[in-house]
Structure 1
Amino acid sequence: MGNWLTIDYSCAPCSPIADNKAEVVKRSCMLRQVSLGKLGLVVGGLITIVGFVAYFIDNPTLNLVGFFYGIPLLLGGLALTAAELKPVPYTQPTSPEVVALRQQQATATQNQVRQDITRYRYGQSAHLDTALERLGLAPTDEERPIVKGVRETQIDGAYGLILEFDSPFVTLEQWQKKQDKMESFFGPGIRIEVTQPTEDEIEIAMIAASSQGTSS
């Protein structure tokens, strides 16, 4: 499965400035793909174990450090894991040509949506939950469409971000009625296309309406 940041990094121009920028982008991607909950569990667990070992070998300094730092980190990791929302996966690799098109045309909103749904989130019940509620596409938490995949593509020469929803309770007709509202909500500079590839599935294409965008 493709990763947009990996492709961005490999396509960076061969210059010191570009290399430095690519390294920053690569590290930023890695941080977004790290689960803070799991990190807290691992680090907190290791420090807590050190504290227990120090207790049995009668090392009060390490024992204090282990309990004072390890247990809070462990509990924090458990809390974050319970509130964790996993990144939405890419359903196809993003080609270098589409990455270049994104850098030329993507709007700030397209970039923000892509970055938000492809990283770990905390304290949210679902990706884009607030947006769907404001658009009137989430009657209840149980009936809310779920973003299950994302991909980037070229549509008639324009950059397109495709959001793939599992939508068994919100029909194609309901989505289509909100098309103008979605263009206003996610705009300016975005055209929305709504399709239904299979039953209970909806795809929302966020298409750059002009060549003026914000690269990322």
Structure 2
Amino acid sequence: MSMNMAASLARGDTILCTHEPRFGICNSPSLHPGQPLRCLVQTRLRPSVSISTRHQPIRRVEVLARAADSPSSVSKAVVPDEGFSLAKVSFGVIGLGAGISLLSYGFGAYFNVLPGSEWSALMLTYGFPLAIIGMALKYAELKPVPCLTYSDAQALKETCATPILKQVKNDVTRYRYGDEQHLDEALKRIFQYGRAGGIPRGSAPKLQMIREEVTEEGKYCLVLVFEAKDLQLSDFEQRQAKFASFFGPGIAAEIGKGEDNLYEVKLISNTTPSASS
């Protein structure tokens, strides 16, 4: 066998090796002296597969790096809402939690299960009304809608957003009590509930979220996203001028159709960065 191998090497033939089936090139040149690189491995896997996949992660990293450094990804970065505000706190949860805590500890102290029996009457006296007030606030509570703000819109907000647009954002992104829905008074006047040419109150659109963005012309825009299962796009389009007049002055309104039963009302500020400066 060794004489045949030597003859094959002398002719320049390729020798198949089976002693190291995991690699594409033989790592034991001592078995084939003088011709270590001529030894190929007899394996079921194609060497091209292992060689091609070796460099694939590098290309992915390069693509992600280019996407992260692109101007479009930077301008469309979302501003995280991490600041604390009292408007984001539910007074119903606070009142209900404090009332139940006082009542629980008061009853425990009254029956000598917990220490502080001399304070049990005081805790029961204040715990009961706090729990009632908390339950009432929780029942009448209207939760804030989510707000999506892009970084380029955040930069234009202070100089280009009108006072009414700022007030609209502050009103819908905080807890409210006693209102059936956000922007209830505005929608009542625009859609004229129960009147001639209006819509039934049960078909009123409901605000789902808001979005702060910049238009292609570089103007600040506050987008109101409504859900209206019983309305059509034409019901919003024929009230486009009413949206502009109610949330004006100094804005233009545009109507768009979103996914499923969602409709977008874009309130675009007419103030440009050059004019404000």
Same fold, TM-score > 0.5, yes or no: yes
Moved over 4 A (4+): 2-5
Match of 2:226 among 160, 165, 170: 165
Moved more, 134-143 or 146-155: 134-143
1:119 counterpart letter in structure 2? R
Higher CA-based Rg:
2
Match of 2:134 among 77, 94, 97: 77
Q: What is residue 210 of structure 1 aligned with on the other side?
A: 271
Please tell me whether residue 194 in structure 1 is matched to residue 194 in structure 2: no
Partner-residue secondary structure (3-state), 2:94 = helix
Match of 1:181 among 234, 239, 242: 242
Q: Among the aligned pairs, what percent are the same residue?
A: 36
1:51-76 Cα distance to aligned partner (Å, 9 max, x none) = 11221128554112211111111111
Moved more, 50-59 or 197-206: 50-59
Aligned-pair CA distance for 1:133: 0.7
Q: What is residue 144 of structure 1 aligned with on the other side?
A: 204
Please tell me whether residue 105 in structure 1 is matched to residue 165 in structure 2: no
Do the aligned partners of 1:137 and 1:170 also contact (CA within 8 Å) in 2?
no
Match of 1:129 among 162, 170, 184: 184
Q: What is residue 14 of structure 1 aligned with on the other side?
A: none
Change (3 A) 1:63 1:3: farther
2:159 counterpart letter in structure 1? Q
Do the aligned partners of 1:137 and 1:175 also contact (CA within 8 Å) in 2?
no
Could you tell me how far apart the structure 2 residues matched to 1:182 and 1:129 are?
A: 13
Do the aligned partners of 2:79 and 2:151 also contact (CA within 8 Å) in 1?
no
1:204 counterpart letter in structure 2? V
Moved more, 94-103 or 115-124: 94-103
Could you tell me how far apart the structure 1 residues matched to 2:269 and 2:140 are?
A: 33
Could you tell me how far apart the structure 2 residues matched to 1:118 and 1:191 are?
A: 22
Q: What is residue 66 of structure 1 aligned with on the other side?
A: 123
Aligned-pair CA distance for 1:174: 1.6
Could you tell me how far apart the structure 2 residues matched to 1:3 and 1:62 are?
A: 48
Moved more, 58-67 or 176-185: 58-67
Return 5+ residue gaps in structure 2 as ranges.
1-77, 194-198
1:111-169 Cα distance to aligned partner (Å, 9 max, x none) = 11111111111101111111111112643332110111111100121111111110122
Aligned length: 188
Return 5+ residue gaps in structure 1 as ranges.
7-25
1:27-79 Cα distance to aligned partner (Å, 9 max, x none) = 4x2x1111111111111111111211221128554112211111111111111
Could you tell me how far apart the structure 1 residues matched to 2:264 and 2:80 are?
A: 19
Q: What is residue 22 of structure 1 aligned with on the other side?
A: none
Could you tell me how far apart the structure 2 residues matched to 1:125 and 1:4 are?
A: 28
Aligned-pair CA distance for 1:3: 6.4
Relative contact order higher in (CA < 8 Å, ≥ 6 apart): 1
Change (3 A) 1:195 1:122: same
Scaled by the length of structure 2, what TM-score is found? 0.63
Please tell me whether residue 89 in structure 1 is matched to residue 150 in structure 2: no
Could you tell me how far apart the structure 2 residues matched to 1:53 and 1:196 are?
A: 57
Do the aligned partners of 2:152 and 2:213 also contact (CA within 8 Å) in 1?
no
Could you tell me how far apart the structure 1 residues matched to 2:101 and 2:79 are?
A: 31
Could you tell me how far apart the structure 2 residues matched to 1:178 and 1:148 are?
A: 19
Do the aligned partners of 2:220 and 2:269 also contact (CA within 8 Å) in 1?
yes
Could you tell me how far apart the structure 2 residues matched to 1:51 and 1:198 are?
A: 52
